[in-house]
Amino acid sequence: MDLTTKVVGIVESGGKLHQQGTMEDAAPAVSDVAHTHGQGEEALKDIVCGSLAGIVGKYIEYPFDTVKVRLQSQPDHLPLIYRGPLDCFKKSLQRDGFLGIYRGISAPLVGAAVETGCLFFSYRVAQDALKTLAYPEHRADPSKELPYTALLSCGAVSGAFTSLFLTPIELVKCKMQVPASSPTIHRPNISGIIASIYRHQGLMGYWHGQMGTLIRETGGSAAWFGGYEGVKLLFRRANPQSITDAEVPVYQRLASGAVAGMAYNFLFYPADTIKSRMQTEDVKGITGGKSTFGAQALEKIVLDPKYHDILALVKGIRNGIVYGTKVRFPHALVMIFLFRSGSFRTKCLLVYRATRQHARNLALFALVYKSSMLLLKNISPTGKERHYDAFVAGLLGGYTVFARTINNSVSQQIVIYVFARVVLAIAKLAVQSRDVGGGQKGIGEPGGGGGWEVLGRGEWRKEVARNGWPVFASLSWAMVMYVFRWHPESLQTSLRSSMQYIYVQSDDWDSLRTFIWHNK
């Protein structure tokens, strides 16, 4: 108001402003200057007061933060060092003393000042930008507050902005807070850790864990400002005399801040846990190798024993796809390009379809079989696998995947392959002794040694064992050649094609070229 009066006096006295326009023209410009000046003061106040508040808060919360980081960074595959927060406090005080739990606080003090200052400054900037872009009526009346959802958005934006400045400070802080894996390891100071990070990971290494910090700060800041503004709004509604923030009692603001802090820490704590693990992994002593936020999150899941059964199904599907592709692709590539006619595109399509069918069959069978095994184990009275469970599960899988696809050549080949191996295995079991060698598993256990002794232990068993394979091999080839000669249409397509190539097309040629290289 004083600034406006002075400018109006200058205009009335014939100053330069009077020559450039009327008093009504000058008033908006003066208002803009005053508003800009007020914004600058508010921004400076946000930065200074936010920084001081962050430093004071960090002194209070730092011991709790140290305990949090030490609990979060415990490896899953080793016995836990700390049983809980109180045990961690006790052991930390015994090992490091009271000052030990404040070790490395200088970096967090800087971080707290940067974080809080950036947070409140960017929160105000986001509000001003939103007022200009989406709520122009609030721009004309600064006392009018934005809707609650808009404040949540401003909190998220301020958190995302702050995370860029906070990640390097959080990285150094976490590495300082975690105790050394061995008492003989010399722990470097802050400058040593900063230098080590740059030496091992370069400049971008200071933003290791940025994704975790971004998620924590974006969501956490939205929760913090949402909790603070929401609780404060409830207090103002309960006390209609509190029209502005300045009229809200201090104890109510403290309560609002407490609720905001709890919302910040609770809602996005998993992201903070993953970030802390990423930033404290013990590689090359203190710093060293680096992993991603997604890898850390997924590894924590896949190593959790409670997810083992369901992940075993997933890996069974994956292994079925991989193995089916490895087996079928080279076979289909050779057989189709060697024996099939058609364009290059047609042959490639046939190779793809055969490979896909083989991989899908094995993956689906793995899913049905392993699911059935889990079900049978869970319904077993003893809670353990029974001797016949594998047979029942294989029966279900075989019927589901292969029994209804008799006209599919890929399915036929897989079944024939399995059948031939099973016949050979049963023949071996029939003549093997029940004796179990030293160190082997017992009969009735998966992988147990010993056969069935169908033929006893006399000379008859020895004769069959010695002559069984020659008889089996000879009869197999005798039958396949007989069937191919007189009933070739009954053979599987790929077998018929290969035998046609070797035994029929070798009977004819009409030149040296078709004799040596090409069939007629």
Between residues 58 and 64, the one the model is more confident about: 64
Amino acid at 322: V
Establish if 166 belongs to a structural domain. Answer: yes
Does residue 312 share a domain with residue 261?
Answer: no
CATH number of the domain where residue 201 is located: 1.50.40.10
pLDDT at position 229 is 84
Does residue 113 share a domain with residue 244?
Answer: yes
- Measure the CA–CA gap between 321 and 325, rounded to whole angstroms: 6
Token pair, residue 327, equals 């087996």
- Measure the CA–CA gap between 236 and 311, rounded to whole angstroms: 51
Q: Which of 196, 349, 359, 173 is nearest to 284 (CA)?
A: 196
Does residue 134 share a domain with residue 200?
Answer: yes
Between residues 369 and 14, the one the model is more confident about: 369
Establish if 256 belongs to a structural domain. Answer: yes
Residue where the block lists tokens 């809670």:
383
Q: Which of 121-135, 287-301, 315-329, 405-419 has the highest mean predicted lDDT (pLDDT)?
A: 315-329
Q: How many residues comprise the chain?
A: 520
What is the average pLDDT across 451-458?
71
pLDDT band at residue 38 using 50, 70 and 90 as cut-offs: low
Helix (H) or strand (E) holding 321: helix 308-339
245-249, 366-370, 481-485: lowest mean pLDDT where?
245-249
Domain endpoint, select from 374, 389, 404: 404
pLDDT band at residue 291 using 50, 70 and 90 as cut-offs: low
Does residue 310 share a domain with residue 279?
Answer: no
pLDDT at position 344 is 92
Q: Which of 102-106, 217-221, 355-359 has the highest mean predicted lDDT (pLDDT)?
A: 355-359
Does residue 265 share a domain with residue 198?
Answer: yes
- Measure the CA–CA gap between 398 and 108, rounded to whole angstroms: 62
Does residue 282 share a domain with residue 140?
Answer: yes
Q: What is the pLDDT of residues 326-336, one digit of tens each?
A: 999 998 998 88
pLDDT band at residue 373 using 50, 70 and 90 as cut-offs: very high
- Measure the CA–CA gap between 233 and 239, rounded to whole angstroms: 10
- pLDDT reading at 32 higher than 60: no
**Contact of 468 with 455, CB cutoff 8 Å:** no
Establish if 23 belongs to a structural domain. Answer: no
Sequence-separated (6 or more) residues with CB below 8 Å from residue 116 = 50, 51, 53, 54, 57
- pLDDT reading at 428 higher than 60: yes
Between residues 396 and 67, the one the model is more confident about: 396
36-40, 235-239, 459-463, 479-483: lowest mean pLDDT where?
36-40
Establish if 47 belongs to a structural domain. Answer: no
* Residue 39, SS3 per DSSP: helix
Establish if 34 belongs to a structural domain. Answer: no
Going by the DSSP 8-state scheme, the letter that residue 488 receives in this structure is G
Does residue 235 share a domain with residue 124?
Answer: yes
- pLDDT reading at 339 higher than 60: yes
pLDDT at position 13 is 41
Helix (H) or strand (E) holding 300: helix 293-302
Q: Sort 304 into a burial class: Cβ within 10 Å, 0-12 / 13-18 / 19+.
A: exposed
Between residues 399 and 211, the one the model is more confident about: 399
Does residue 266 share a domain with residue 314?
Answer: no
Q: Which of 172, 177, 245, 234 is nearest to 209 (CA)?
A: 172
pLDDT band at residue 121 using 50, 70 and 90 as cut-offs: confident
Sequence-separated (6 or more) residues with CB below 8 Å from residue 290 = 201, 205, 208, 278, 283
101-115, 178-192, 482-496: lowest mean pLDDT where?
178-192
- pLDDT reading at 357 higher than 90: yes
Degrees to nearest 5, angle at CA 153 with 149 and 154 = 115
Does residue 337 share a domain with residue 258?
Answer: no
Establish if 53 belongs to a structural domain. Answer: no
Helix (H) or strand (E) holding 122: helix 106-133
What is the average pLDDT across 190-215?
80
Range of the domain at 127: 104-287
pLDDT band at residue 178 using 50, 70 and 90 as cut-offs: low
pLDDT at position 371 is 95
Check residue 79 and give left, alpha or beta (phi > 0: left; psi -120 to 50: alpha): beta
Between residues 199 and 154, the one the model is more confident about: 154
- Measure the CA–CA gap between 367 and 398, rounded to whole angstroms: 12
pLDDT at position 10 is 35
Does residue 278 share a domain with residue 215?
Answer: yes
Check residue 97 and give left, alpha or beta (phi > 0: left; psi -120 to 50: alpha): left
Say what percent of the chain tops pLDDT 70. 75
Torsion angle defined by CA atoms of residues 319, 322, 324 and 328, in that order, rounded to the nearest 10 degrees = -160
Establish if 225 belongs to a structural domain. Answer: yes
- Measure the CA–CA gap between 487 and 4, rounded to whole angstroms: 109
- pTM for this prediction: 0.46
Token pair, residue 9, equals 């006096």
**Contact of 316 with 370, CB cutoff 8 Å:** yes
Does residue 163 share a domain with residue 226?
Answer: yes
**Contact of 401 with 367, CB cutoff 8 Å:** no
pLDDT band at residue 139 using 50, 70 and 90 as cut-offs: low
Establish if 510 belongs to a structural domain. Answer: no
Q: What is the pLDDT of residues 209-264, one digit of tens each?
A: 788 788 888 888 888 888 888 888 888 788 766 556 556 788 888 888 888 888 87
Helix (H) or strand (E) holding 64: helix 23-72
Does residue 386 share a domain with residue 263?
Answer: no
Number of domains in the chain: 2
